[in-house]
């Protein structure tokens, strides 16, 4: 393997995967390994020299029912990757998150007996719902790299090769956070009062959830005129989309809302906005972990297509949806799902966090979980990946 360049295929479907992919690429380079990367990547990976064969946005679809209209395109992308790797095989395929797409790619690789090792980096939530997927993972994945220790324990029960690599963000983000520094970086009033509203980074999420956060913000703005609202936009398209939705609200509220477009080489505007805010209201997903590691008082919400939700509700095996609550094994933050995700209830939950005592209690719990994630016995992902080739 030392005599020729290693070739690795990576597929990511969203911003958090792009961050993990860029960090993984950097680790290979730091170890002096001669390697080229191709597949589907985001701006951070592309900036690091990644050859992206399709735009990352292609995979940015959430839900079960919602995916149906994009199914033809998704299958065409999958088949395009397989066709390329049949003619010019990569040594290893690493699917980062995006399990519905990546597990299908791994399955095709195994079905066609391509000489490619398969890795899933970021475990699908098999411990939470659709647990029977673990048998497909056992069949088609050579190694699962888990971000949380409880995931490795789950796979061990099914004899699936899995390692706990830890969450890079838990190590990267300090245990002390400088709110004023974040406000200065965003040109905000250092003494201001800010609520972060994060309706998600995907087009479909913003379309579905921005009206919810803006309507909740409008309720709070009337009651608490001193508060301003910060909304991160991952790119120019999301910025335009969010601004367009905001146009449907009174000018008095629009003036209190600051839409901040990502200006960083890394996609970290969401993180900066959360760090600069007193309270965070965000769509349930990976960002809840980031808010937890920033030790921000928060409330989470989510709304799916009604049919997707009925299917999900039937399949979910755990009592919580958000990572902070799953890691803690108890309710640490409020979760407003489906019908509960109304502007009135969201505004009420944000209002509770204006109580300093409640906010401080939540912050202490976040710090405790942050320490838990960096104290675990983690393995190095690069060495584990290379181990598959020996």
Give the CATH number, domain containing residue 289: 3.40.50.2000
pTM, entire model: 0.71
Note the pLDDT of residue 378: 84
Residue 1 lies in a domain: no
Residue 315 and residue 223 share a domain: yes
Residue 204 lies in a domain: yes
Q: Are 16 and 9 in contact (CB under 8 A)?
A: no
Residue 255 lies in a domain: yes
Residue 220 lies in a domain: yes
Range of the domain at 60: 6-171+376-387
Q: Which residues of the chain have pLDDT under 70?
A: 1-3, 60-69, 265-266, 314-318, 376
Task: Please list the residues that pair with 121 across neighbouring strands.
Answer: 96, 145
Residue 271 lies in a domain: yes
Note the pLDDT of residue 250: 97
Note the pLDDT of residue 18: 93
d(CA 130, CA 389): 31
* 163-195 CB burial, b ≥16 within 10 A, e <16: bbbbbebbeebeeeeeeeebbeebebeeeeebb
DSSP state of 152: H
Residue 250 and residue 313 share a domain: yes
d(CA 41, CA 97): 12
Note the pLDDT of residue 336: 95
Residue 205 and residue 76 share a domain: no
Note the pLDDT of residue 297: 97
Tally of domains in the chain: 2
Residue 363 and residue 242 share a domain: yes
Note the pLDDT of residue 126: 86
Residue 58 and residue 25 share a domain: yes
Residue 341 and residue 369 share a domain: yes
Residue 147 lies in a domain: yes
Residue 361 and residue 307 share a domain: yes
Residue 321 lies in a domain: yes
Residue 322 and residue 193 share a domain: yes
Note the pLDDT of residue 284: 85
Residue 186 and residue 166 share a domain: no
Residue 197 and residue 86 share a domain: no
Residue 273 lies in a domain: yes
Residue 286 and residue 262 share a domain: yes
Residue 164 and residue 69 share a domain: yes
Which candidate, 116, 159, 124, 118, places its Cα nearest to that of 141?
A: 118
Q: What are the structure tokens assigned to 241, written together?
A: 């989309």
């Amino acid at each position: 393997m030392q005599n020729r360049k290693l070739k690795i295929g990576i597929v990511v479907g969203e911003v958090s995967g792009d961050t993990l992919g860029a960090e993984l690429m950097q680790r290979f380079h730091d170890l002096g390994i001669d390697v080229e990367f191709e597949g589907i990547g985001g701006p951070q990976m592309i900036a690091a020299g990644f050859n992206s064969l399709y735009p990352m946005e292609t995979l940015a679809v959430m839900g079960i029912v919602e995916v149906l209209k994009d199914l033809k395109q998704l299958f065409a992308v999958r088949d395009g990757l397989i066709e390329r790797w049949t003619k010019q095989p990569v040594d290893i395929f690493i699917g980062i998150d995006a399990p519905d797409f990546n597990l299908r790619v791994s399955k095709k690789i195994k079905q066609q007996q391509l000489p490619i090792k398969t890795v899933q980096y970021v475990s699908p939530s098999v411990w939470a719902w659709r647990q029977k997927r673990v048998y497909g993972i056992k069949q088609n994945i050579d190694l699962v790299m888990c971000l949380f220790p409880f995931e490795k324990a789950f796979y061990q029960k099914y004899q699936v090769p899995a390692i706990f690599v830890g969450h890079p963000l838990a190590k990267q983000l300090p245990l002390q956070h400088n709110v004023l520094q974040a406000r200065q970086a965003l040109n905000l009033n250092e003494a201001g009062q800010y609520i972060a509203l994060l309706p998600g980074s995907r087009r479909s999420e913003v379309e579905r959830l921005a009206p919810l956060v803006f309507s909740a913000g409008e309720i709070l703005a009337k009651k608490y005129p001193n508060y301003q609202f910060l909304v991160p936009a991952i790119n120019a398209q999301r910025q335009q989309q969010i601004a367009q939705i905001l146009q449907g609200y009174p000018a008095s509220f629009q003036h209190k809302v600051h839409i901040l477009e990502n200006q960083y080489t890394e996609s970290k505007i969401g993180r900066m906005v959360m760090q600069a805010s007193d309270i965070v209201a965000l769509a349930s997903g990976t960002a809840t972990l980031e808010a937890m590691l920033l030790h921000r008082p928060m409330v989470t919400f989510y709304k799916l297509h009604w049919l997707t939700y009925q299917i999900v509700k039937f399949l979910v095996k755990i009592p919580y949806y958000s990572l902070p609550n799953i890691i803690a094994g108890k309710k640490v933050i409020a979760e407003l799902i489906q019908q509960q995700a109304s502007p009135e209830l969201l505004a009420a939950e944000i209002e509770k966090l204006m109580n300093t005592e409640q906010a401080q209690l939540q912050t202490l719990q976040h710090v405790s979980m942050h320490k838990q994630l960096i104290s675990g016995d983690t393995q190095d992902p690069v060495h584990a990946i290379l181990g598959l080739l020996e």
